[in-house]
């Protein structure tokens, strides 16, 4: 499980949603806010996964350069 801090964009989208709900904004505005929250969360997850993959690749490269065997290394990444 990837654990990462909540990005600013996700927090900002959630705050906007709560603000519009408190103001009793029209339904279409609330729906757009909900979509914005999900979009921000999806983008944050993609970025976290990309960073994780890059870190794994660097780790494998550094082990290869140090002469360690990679017969038992298995990179399991699902998108």
Alpha helices in the chain (DSSP H): 8-22, 27-65
Number of Cβ within 10 Å of residue 31's Cβ equals: 11
Please state which of the ranges 6-15, 30-39, 45-54, 56-65 shows the lowest mean pLDDT: 56-65
**In this predicted structure, what is the pLDDT of residue 42?**
93
How much is the mean pLDDT over the chain?
84
What pLDDT sits at residue 54?
92
Whole-angstrom distance, CA of residue 13 vs CA of residue 6: 11
Domain locations in the chain?
8-64
Whether residue 8 has pLDDT greater than 80: yes
């Amino acid at each position: 499980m990837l654990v990462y801090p909540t990005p600013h964009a996700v927090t900002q989208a959630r705050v906007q949603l709560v603000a519009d709900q408190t103001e009793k904004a029209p339904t279409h505005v609330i729906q757009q806010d909900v979509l914005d929250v999900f979009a921000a969360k999806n983008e944050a997850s993609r970025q976290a996964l990309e960073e994780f993959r890059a870190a794994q690749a660097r780790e494998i490269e550094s082990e290869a350069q140090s002469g360690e065997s990679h017969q038992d290394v298995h990179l399991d990444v699902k998108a």
